[in-house]
Amino acid sequence: MRVLVLGGTRLSRQLATTLREQGIAVISSLAGRVADPLLPPGEVRIGGFGGVPGLIEWLRSHPVDAVVDATHPFAAQMSSHAHQACSVLDVPLLGLRVPSWPPGPGRAWVGSLDEAATRVAARTFLTIGSLGLPAFAARPEWFLIRSVDRPPVLPARHELVLDRGPFTVDGELRLLREHRIELLVTKDSGGPDAKLHAAAELGIPVLLIARPVLPDMPVATTVADAVRWLL
């Protein structure tokens, strides 16, 4: 069996590792957004396919038995392209993504980054990825911003932390206390998340950007379920 894994997430790397251990050939695909990506084991291709036609072309010249869309839940365009291309070629497609975070005290969801930008506090911790920052660029408030690479656009008053997880609850508690954070704004990425635990412990409210609507496809939430589906 040969599987294309659309990646860029921790789950996608775990899936590639597990598939290889089971002797299943896997090609992982990354968008090439970050300068120094964490690479899964095995074959990796980097860069966009060139829209739906490009992905169809790629799948024709690199036949696979299945595609697993293990991209981040906010990578809606890639998911849509995968859905369209796999439908045209009749290639089985599975989504692999962790469930959204459940409601909890101090947690509220907003529909977009623009909406979140209208609800920031005097001192807000933003962990939304560097591409989402233009929505906050004109805000006069102060921000603590954490991203993997240096963002191209930043609000005027900020402190930038270039870092990549996994993070610990103790580390997040320190960061939140040290910067006297009043609000955390993040994407509803799901999965284990130290910053949400730390915010809850300190009574700091959390604004979560709701996930975009994704195309209809079977979805696994664990690597084990994805492997079962593939087999």
Rounded-to-integer distance, Cα 39 and Cα 36, Å = 9
* 182, 124 contact by CB (below 8 A): yes
Burial class of 199 by CB neighbour count within 10 A (0 to 12, 13 to 18, 19+) = buried
**Rounded least distance, CB 231 to ligand NAP, Å:** 23
Strand 142-147 to strand 123-127: parallel, antiparallel, or no bridges (unpaired)? parallel
Residue in 87, 110, 89 with CA at minimum distance from that of residue 216: 87
Burial class of 181 by CB neighbour count within 10 A (0 to 12, 13 to 18, 19+) = buried
Q: Examine residue 166 and tell whether it contacts ligand NAP (CB under 6 A).
A: no
Q: Examine residue 187 and tell whether it contacts ligand NAP (CB under 6 A).
A: yes
Q: Binding segment for ligand NAP among 42-50, 60-68, 105-113, 117-125 (CB under 6 A)?
A: 42-50
**Rounded least distance, CB 155 to ligand NAP, Å:** 19
Cα–Cα distances in Å, from 65 out to 50, 86, 94? 21, 11, 11
**Rounded least distance, CB 73 to ligand NAP, Å:** 8
Rounded-to-integer distance, Cα 147 and Cα 197, Å = 19
- Options 24, 31, 64, 226; binder of ligand NAP; rule CB under 6 A: 31
- Options 51, 63, 104, 218; binder of ligand NAP; rule CB under 6 A: 51
Residues in the chain: 231
Mark residues 4-23: x for contact with ligand NAP by CB under 6 A, - for none: --xxxx--------------
The pair of three-digit structure tokens given for residue 119, joined into one six-digit string: 């609800």
**Rounded least distance, CB 81 to ligand NAP, Å:** 5
**Rounded least distance, CB 51 to ligand NAP, Å:** 4
Mark residues 112-151: x for contact with ligand NAP by CB under 6 A, - for none: -----------------x----------------------
Q: Rounded to 5, what percent of the chain is helix, strand, coil?
A: 35, 25, 45
The interface with ligand NAP within residues 66-105 (CB under 6 A) comprises 71-72, 74-78, 81
Q: Binding segment for ligand NAP among 46-54, 114-122, 136-144, 196-204 (CB under 6 A)?
A: 46-54
Residues in contact with ligand NAP by CB under 6 A are: 6-9, 29-31, 33, 48-51, 54-55, 71-72, 74-78, 81, 129, 187
